[in-house]
Structure 1
């Protein structure tokens, strides 16, 4: 397999993994060991998806998806820092931004998935 194909395949697999564990990260109890474990795995996968996207370019140019990747790296990092510092409003707000970016990036229909997540997290 060519390196380009391996990068795209690994990027897609990681992105599908991020979307697949979405219900686990949202619809279960918070503030326990399993919650933290799921989130650390999700954060690592998100970093991989975002960083690998910068090597996937169209005709040598970045697209709006690369801007979304940069936004996601920032929000995931700030959310992780908020969790480590036990600043729950910062953690929640930044992770909601990261969730919106990860769910909406494959297609605009991802917004239909994002809105119920955000409404549930905010309660």
Structure 2
């Protein structure tokens, strides 16, 4: 494992990757930690901001000069984030919980899995290819 491929990448790719790694770590903590209260809410806002950065920055990362199908996930994240926050604010905790878990799984775990493929920067970071 080496960070060299990531550290030599364009700044937008670095921003995207480090925001995603932060969201992955914080999201894991949020899923396991007690819910409700000020700490959950504060960490949740940071997570929402990180996810917005990840999704927005992806639009400046284009394969072969154009957007790909994976950018649909970014649009989905940007659509679902405010819906999930509003659900919590309106007391619809079950909807909030489902939306946030969906964002974590789809927006970070599944989309992140594709970044580990050969020829991708994070694949080179983790596996050295």
How would you bin the TM-score normalised by the shorter chain?
A: 0.7 to 0.9
* 2:60 matches 1:55: yes
The aligned runs of 1:1-123 (5 Å cut-off) are 5-101=10-106, 102-107=108-113
Structure 2 length as normaliser, TM-score? 0.75
Deviations 1:54-108 (A, max 9, x none): 1110122211220111111112121011111111122122112211122211116
**How many residues end up aligned between the 2 structures?**
106
Contact 2:87 2:93 in 1 (8 A): yes
Structure 2 stretches of 5 or more lacking a match?
Answer: 1-8, 117-129
Contact 2:24 2:104 in 1 (8 A): no
Return the alpha-carbon distance in structure 1 between the equivalents of residues 30 and 78 of structure 2.
Answer: 18
Moved over 3 A (4+): none
CA RMSD of the aligned region, Å?
1.7
Contact 1:72 1:97 in 2 (8 A): no
Return the alpha-carbon distance in structure 1 between the equivalents of residues 69 and 11 of structure 2.
Answer: 23
Structure number with greater CO (CA < 8 Å, separation at least 6) is 2
Return the alpha-carbon distance in structure 2 between the equivalents of residues 55 and 23 of structure 1.
Answer: 26
